[in-house]
Amino acid sequence: MNAPYEILPAPSFDPAALLFRLREQNPLRPLIHIDREETTGWSHIPVHLTGILTEGPGGLRWYGGEGEVLDVGPGGWGEIPLLERPLESFLEKEESRPPSGDIRPPFSSGLVLLLPFEMAETWEPSGGPFAGPEVPAVLVSCSGVVSYHAPTGRLFLPPGFDKRLLEPVTFSPQIPVRLVPSLSPEGFSRLFCLIRAGLERGDYFQVNIAQRFEADIPAGFDPIAAYARLLSRSRSRSGGFFSFREHFLLSHSPEQLLALSGDLVRTRPIAGTAPGPPPPDRPDPLRTDPKLRAEHIMTVDLLRNDIGRVSRAGTVGVPALMAIESYPHLRHLVSEVSGRIDPRLSRGAVIRSLFPGGSVTGAPRIRVRREIGHLEGVPRNYYCGTLGFLSEEGEMDLALLIRTLEGVREGSGGRLVFGAGAGIVADSRDEEEYAEILLKARAMGEVLS
């Protein structure tokens, strides 16, 4: 930990209220919540920011910690030490640190990273219709983070933090929003037939196809109030909030793209979905259905290859295979794939190897990304991208941005977009896949309605 924390007992923590108070303090600053209370027990909100770097079609743009524009220019991110420094330098620091039984936040300072899906085109071009992202990739440098540890009920405050920002907030009633699907069942069936033809030709083995649900942003809509409502209904395993300038994200993602601690990298792919709770009187079809098993095993094999590209020989394994996780309205088939990273490589190399996630693309991944671009016809933008942190001490935790509402403000209005997809294999049925997509969109639709 780079600086001492003030530790307060706190039986609960309201991240939406802190985000609201930070916005009151300065509407231009980025607002970020990294929610891992359901997995690691931690919740993080960066409060002391030292700079923001965005990369988009216009090149690089630098902002100060409070969001003011500093500089604009071309270039890339290749010289950012926390991204591109060899992993061995973090491991050496970890070995020299004295052992301690104290609980400490895994993210006290470092970087928050937001990548759109099409960012992968800049390092592994697919030849598809989108040569790069149409929304900015964002990197936020943080020197102080408010962290909450739910299992012990402790709040960690960085030096200089104003405790008045923790005062509760009463949010205004939700303004109803109805998300409208971009594809009818018939339109989805036409895309499905094109994918089936490619599968039969042997062009690919699996394709994740998504559709958009869209709405205009109504006057008075507050994304933080909507996020507070989302958190009050249920917490997610890899959720979060991000807003900066005209863009905002409300994520209720159940899926982790990757986590790195020491030299151990883990990913937890989701592939295979069924509605409702498991049947009480027979084996769960999530494990016994041949189509769902094939879809899941192909995804696991793809990620074993992705992790193998950056891991030491013989260290790639599958600690958990086809576990079942239940959520409101549905349940998922989930595995864990892990490996020990070659310490000569950087955290940036690990991200590039696993991004975008195999569960939201298909196999073979680069070929399928090209097909996704042509079939869907619009960029995914932040949907199926990633949001998470890279700490100064070497920890990394990135979520896969599914079950995520994306907003773009334009003047007094703007547009809301929610993406949901399904993995198509040779024995998939179009009506079942369309129903699965609607099921995945249901929870966010209920929060907004």
Q: What is the pLDDT along the chain (449 residues), one digit of tens a residue?
A: 455 889 999 999 999 999 999 999 999 999 999 999 999 999 999 999 999 999 877 778 888 888 887 766 545 566 687 899 999 988 876 655 545 568 899 999 999 999 999 999 999 999 999 999 999 999 999 999 999 999 999 999 999 999 999 999 999 888 899 999 999 999 999 999 999 999 999 999 999 999 999 999 999 999 999 999 999 998 899 999 999 999 999 999 999 999 999 999 999 999 999 998 888 888 888 888 888 998 999 999 999 999 999 999 999 999 999 999 998 889 999 999 999 999 999 999 999 999 999 999 999 999 999 999 999 999 999 999 999 999 999 999 999 999 999 999 998 789 999 999 999 999 999 999 999 999 999 999 999 98
Give pTM, 2 decimals.
0.95
Q: In sequence order, which residues have a C-beta less than 8 Å from that of residue 283 and are 6 or more positions away?
A: none
The residue range of the domain holding 209 is: 6-159+175-448
Q: Is residue 166 part of a domain?
A: no
- Give a yes or no: residue 167 inside a domain: no
- Domain count within the chain: 1
Report if residue 368 sits inside a domain: yes
Position 271 in a domain: yes
**Residue 168, domain member (yes or no):** no
Q: What Å distances lie between residue 307 and 135, 147, 304, 357, CA to CA?
A: 27, 29, 5, 11
| Nearest by Cα to 218 from 405, 402, 382, 407 | 407
Residue 107 belongs to domain with CATH number: 3.60.120.10
Looking at the domain assignment, is residue 103 inside a domain?
yes
Please give the Cα distance from 220 to 386 (Å, whole number): 28
The confidence score (pLDDT) of residue 184 equals 95
**For position 1, what pLDDT does the model report?**
44
Q: Is 281 exposed, middle or buried (0-12, 13-18, 19+ CB in 10 A)?
A: exposed
Q: Rounded to whole angstroms, how far apart are CA atoms 379 and 57? A: 14
